[in-house]
């Protein structure tokens, strides 16, 4: 059964309210660096009644665990034990589910270049989004990978496969499964693919260009979901999604309620952070009305 969860301290499945309650906690990659951090996080979460941990393992094109696919972040490189394996062990010992949380499309962040040639920004520069002026500038916030490129989607699928194959996680949780804005991406490879597919330049078919970018994200999610359910049927696939449903779809190409309707995701967590009740209620009601 598809569920929609609203993560605001308490997450409650709309379709299963009377039967079960999900109480989920995001744990960022900055919240842990040693085994005692993992112990404290899991113990405190269990003590106050959480039952699901969304544990970040990928941030800006690096991962926190030892990987054969992606560079491990400097914060964790060469450290023992494997923090993800330890987190799974500690969570399960306390009756908690642990879902591996990955920032999907961010590939780098910061005003400085990566220090390792193995980091995606230097290893695969053609994979990154650029704006309509062809700019791919270093900046403090995330630089995104282009999901319109088949090689990017294949790479990210392989990363997910490594997680669910090597670790006894209960789920995979996606964040940043979206574009940074509607003005992206005009990287040469994506523009060439669209032009070949549509028989026109993006400027000549703007509606098709918008839909093509949205469908790239949809296709990636569908591939991940189908593979997970084939090999690990009990694994939960979820995503944190933007609070304004229509803007998420039309500007950032994140069609979250469409994912639910097509059966390509188990759970969505709308990020309803508004500090005004009227805005919070409007966004919540919109998701509830349009979820299937």
80-109, pLDDT tens digit by residue? Answer: 899 999 999 999 999 999 999 999 999 999
Average pLDDT over residues 37-42: 98
- Average predicted confidence (pLDDT) for the chain: 92
DSSP assigned state of 126: G
216-258, pLDDT tens digit by residue? Answer: 999 999 999 999 999 999 999 999 999 999 999 999 999 999 9
- Sole residue written with tokens 């290893």: 123
- pLDDT band per the 50, 70, 90 thresholds, residue 285: very high
Average pLDDT over residues 198-204: 97
Q: Which helix (H) or strand (E) holds 158?
A: helix 150-166
CB-based contact 11:23 (threshold 8 Å)? yes
Average pLDDT over residues 193-215: 97
Q: What is the pLDDT of residue 122?
A: 97
3 state SS of 185: coil
242-252, pLDDT tens digit by residue? Answer: 999 999 999 99
- Sole residue written with tokens 């499945």: 13
| Domains parsed from the chain with CATH numbers | 3-289 (3.20.20.80)
* Start-end of H helices in 180-276: 188-198, 206-231, 245-250, 256-262
Up-side HSE of residue 201: CA atoms within 13 Å toward CB?
6
Count of helix runs (H) and strand runs (E) in the chain: 9, 9
Q: What is the pLDDT of residue 47?
A: 98
158-173, pLDDT tens digit by residue? Answer: 999 999 999 999 999 9
Indicate whether 133 pLDDT > 50.
yes
Distance, in Å, from the CA atom of 112 to the CA atom of 109, rounded to the nearest integer, reads 8
Q: What is the pLDDT of residue 292?
A: 65
Per-residue tokens: 82? 């494997």
Per-residue tokens: 15? 């379709």
Per-residue tokens: 201? 């330049």
Distance, in Å, from the CA atom of 257 to the CA atom of 259, rounded to the nearest integer, reads 5
């Amino acid at each position: 059964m598809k569920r929609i969860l609203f993560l605001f301290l308490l997450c409650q499945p709309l379709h299963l309210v009377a039967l079960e309650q999900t109480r989920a906690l995001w744990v960022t990659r900055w919240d842990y660096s040693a085994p005692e951090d993992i112990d404290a996080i899991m113990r405190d979460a269990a003590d106050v009644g959480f039952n699901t941990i969304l544990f970040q393992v990928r941030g800006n094109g690096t991962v926190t665990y030892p990987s054969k696919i992606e560079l491990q972040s400097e914060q964790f490189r060469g450290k023992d034990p494997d923090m993800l394996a330890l987190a799974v062990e500690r969570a399960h010992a306390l009756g908690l589910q642990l879902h591996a949380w990955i920032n999907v499309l961010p590939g780098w962040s910061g005003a400085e270049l990566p220090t390792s040639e193995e980091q995606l920004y230097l290893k695969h520069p053609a994979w990154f989004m650029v704006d309509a002026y062809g700019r791919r500038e270093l900046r403090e916030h995330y630089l995104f990978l282009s999901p319109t490129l088949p090689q990017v989607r294949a790479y990210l699928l392989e990363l997910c496969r490594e997680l669910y194959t090597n670790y006894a996680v209960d789920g995979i949780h996606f964040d940043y499964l979206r574009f940074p804005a509607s003005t992206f991406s005009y990287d040469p490879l994506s523009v060439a693919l669209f032009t070949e597919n549509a028989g026109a330049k993006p400027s000549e078919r703007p509606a098709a260009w918008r839909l093509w970018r949205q469908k790239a994200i949809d296709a990636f999610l569908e591939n991940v979901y189908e593979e997970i359910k084939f090999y690990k049927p009990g694994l939960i696939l979820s995503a944190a999604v933007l609070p304004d449903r229509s803007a998420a779809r039309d500007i950032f190409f994140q069609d979250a309620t469409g994912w639910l309707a097509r059966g390509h995701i188990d759970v969505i967590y709308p990020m309803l952070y508004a500090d005004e009740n009227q805005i919070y209620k409007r966004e919540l009601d919109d998701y509830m009305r349009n979820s299937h």
